[in-house]
Structure formats: C-alpha cells, structure tokens
Amino acid sequence: MKKHSGLLLAAGALLIATNVFLTLQNDSKVSRTNFLTGWFVAKTETLTETLQTAGVVTPVEEHPVYFNGEEGGFQQFYVKKGEAVIAGTPLYEYKSAQVDADRQRLENEINQLSREVALIEDQIQQLEYLQTVSARSSSTSVPVSGDGLVTPPVPGLQLETLVEVTIEKEIYDKEGELRDLEDEIQEHEDNLAALVANNELDVNSQVNGTVKEINLDLKNPIMTIISDDPKVQGNFTESDLAVVTEGMEAYITSDLIKDKLPGRLSKIASHSKEDPDVDKESEFSFEIELDPQPAYDSETLIASSEGMEESEIEVPEETDFQDPTENSGSDLKTEEDSQPTKLVHGQHVDITIVTDQRVGAVTVSNEQIQSGSYAYVLTRTGKVERRFIKQGLEVDGRIEIIDGLQEGETVVEHSSQIAQADTPFITRLDFLRLNLNLLKNGEPMDWVKAIGVGFSKQ
C-alpha cells in the first residue's frame, strides 16, 4: 500500500514539474492560464473636466452721472462717497438756465399782451362815447313844415339806428378780444409762477447701489454709482481660450465665504487685454455672472413654526450647491445659515470653470487599458476576452468608455497580468471561503487527481 501511494505521489510531482517547466518557457506552445489578482465591475459615474483660475469681485454695473453746465448753475451735492442710494434718491441740485430764459420770454409776452389790453380798453371807451353821442342826437326835435305839420325824417332815423347798432356790435367784439387777452395773460402768469417755484431742480438716481466716486471739481462724470449686484472678472491665457466658451458653468469659492457660488461664464474678450508682445503671453479678460442667491427670512420662518409639531415644519429645499450634511442636527435653518452668501467688491476669489462633463459614463482607469485601445473582460465562460474600446473624456486617470464596454461587465484590473487572450483564468485561493469539512472528509487520491487536473487543464 505504501509503495502504491509513493508511486502516485512521484507521478504527481513529475506532472507538476513538467507543467511548470513548459509554462515558464517563453517559446512554449502550451496554452497558458491567466492568473489574476484583481478585477472590478464596470460602473457609471460623472466625469467633470474643469479649469482652475482666479478672479476679483466687481460690480455688475457702473452708472456714471453727468452734469451739463449749459442747462444751468450747479448748486450742491445731496450724497457723499460710499453712501448707499436707491432709485429716486436725490443726488444733486442745480439752477436751470432754461428757466430764466423761459421766465424772460413769458414776462415779455405778458407785457405785450398788457399793452394790447390797454389799447382795446381805450377803443372801447371811445366807442362807448360815440354810443352816448348818438343816443343824444336821436332824442332832439324833428323839423316842422310851413303848414305846421310834423314831417317824419325817415332817412335820418334809419341812419342813426344803423350807427347805434354798428357801435354796439363793435363794443361787443372788442370786449370779446379783451377777455381772450386777459385769459392769455392769466395763463402766462400761472406758467411764470410755476417756473419761479421750480427754478432749482434735483437730479435723482436711476439705480440702486453705492456712490463710488464724487468729483467736487464738477468734471464729468461728476458722480459714479456702482450696483449692489456683484460679478467676477479675471484673465484667461492663450491656452485657456482653447477650452472655454461663453455659457459654461462656473463656481466661485473663497476662504471668506461659506459655500461655493454658482454662475455662468458670460463674456470672453475677443482681443488681448494689453497690446500684443512677442515676448509675453497675451491675456484675455472674462466675466462671470453669478446666479441669484435665495434669501430666507429667518424671523418669518421661526414665527411660522411656532405652535407646530416638529414633523409639520417645512424647511426650504437645499440648492444643488449646498452640502446636504450641513445643519443635519437641526430641522430649522439658523439666522446665519438662512442669509445668502455675500461677496464684497474687490474680494479675490478662486474660480472653477466646467469645461466638459459626462453624466452616467461607463469608466475605467488608465491602468486598465492596454496600449490605449483595448481592455480585458472576464466572460461568463471563464475566459479572458480582449475587447477593443473607444475612449472619450479623461479626467484624473479615469477614462470614459464610449463603445466596447457595458455597465456591469467584469474587467481585469491589471492588464499586465494577462499572458494570453481568449484563455481561461484562475484567481488566488481565498482561505476564508474554504470548507474545512471537505478537507477532512476527502480522500487523498481525490486531492491528487484534482491537483493534476488543475495543472493540466488549459
């Protein structure tokens, strides 16, 4: 019995040595089995390619205020440098030169109309005198004929009546002209009074913001107002221009603000910031428009939550750019957290621009791609398949696979371990998954046969 076992052990050892020798030969024609130490299941992720740069916070708009000296004389400023203003706030006062000209014109017209009124009044008085004379002449005795009879002077009476009617109509027309002139004089006097009252005029602000500069020497612009809304400005290098376009997403961060602020790349200059120089790289200015920030009224939020159960309190939804772990210990935002993040004009910030992004992309690492064109996939038949792939976006060693690999497929982690494609593979023994009962109950010959099959099987 011992002799029989010794022969079996010797045969097994010889078989093992022979397979090891043939396998280790570089020019051996023996089909090899790939020994793998690592693999992974292909999953999807979001790849984001970004460009890092720096910038400074500036106002969205600068509103210059001008003064035209030809319109009148400057009187005084109503605001000071650094003062906040809103639309409609008086900025400065001036005395209108046009008002003086209009007043002189109205006074001349009133004087002219007054002379016309005096002339018409004289004419009316003369007509009234003629009317009185005509009435007296009509009341005198008529001529008597030689026989003592009264001879009615019919032609004379008709003439006197016609004169009286004409004088009366003339007086009526003159009184109408007089009333029109007096109405016109009254209108001019009202306009003159309004001009005198409004001789000193105010110029009001057209925007909300802060007074940035005031020129006391009245050199235009005499005042500059900057808006409260901020934007971010910076400079791109020539290489940056190759990967950026207007409309790209951007994020603003700084040590002085709590959260990152989202925005958009709104403007890229089409020419260099300074005169081109062959010995110096050109820079191109850009602007980032920030997205509106939500503002929560903490007092209203707290007041509305009084008397309510904790489960009934509605908390404003977090934006996409807030960390969901923040304020996890409280169901209500504190007053500090409810305030929007504020940037200060002149503050320096860091900028992250999203130049490209793939959502739900099947990815592998660059170490898992052989020669940059294919990867090794473990099939359900227990073999290693050489799979040609088409690559896409690459970010920090992660590569998007556009074609050739599906989500859920198993990929060899280290392609250098593949000795030959389309061959079986084996893995390291996992002692934690061994069933010791099988070792105790198994026959020695069965183990010898299993080992022989393992080394001889392709």
The predicted-structure confidence for 148-162, as pLDDT tens digits, reads as follows 444 444 444 456 677
Tell me the pLDDT tens digit for each residue of 410-456: 888 877 777 777 778 777 766 566 666 665 666 667 766 666 665 55
Q: Could you read off the pLDDT of 338-354 as tens digits, one per residue?
A: 445 678 888 999 999 99
- Above pLDDT 90, what percent of the chain? 21
φ, ψ of residue 210 to 5 degrees: the values are -135, 140
Supply the pLDDT for residue 381. Answer: 83
Structure letter (DSSP) for residue 197: H
Query: What is the average per-residue pLDDT within 165-177?
Result: 84
Average pLDDT estimate for 203-219: 89
Confidence (pLDDT) at 431: 59
Beta-carbon contacts of residue 386 (< 8 Å; ≥ 6 apart): 370, 374, 376, 418, 421, 422
Residue that the structure tokens 């935002």 belong to: 333
231, 216 Cβ separation under 8 angstroms: no
Q: Which of 38-52, 85-99, 354-368 has the lowest mean pLDDT?
A: 85-99
pLDDT of residue 3: 56
Mean of pLDDT values over 7-33: 60
The mean-pLDDT minimum among 16-30, 240-254, 323-337 falls in 323-337
Mean pLDDT of the chain: 76
Q: What is the DSSP string of 385-398?
A: EEEE-EEEEEETTE
Place of tokens 């570089």: 26
117-121, 315-319, 358-362: least confidently modelled range: 315-319
pLDDT at 146 over 50: no
What band does 5 get if pLDDT is binned at 50, 70 and 90?
A: low
For 117, the token pair is: 């009124």
Look up the pTM and report it.
0.53
Distance (Å, whole) CA 308 – CA 330: 15
Helix, strand or coil for residue 284?
A: strand
> Does residue 322 surpass a pLDDT of 50?
no
Q: What is the pLDDT of residues 265-295, one digit of tens each?
A: 999 998 988 888 888 889 999 999 999 876 5
pLDDT at residue 6 in the model: 63
Give the pairing type, strands 425-427 and 34-36.
Answer: parallel
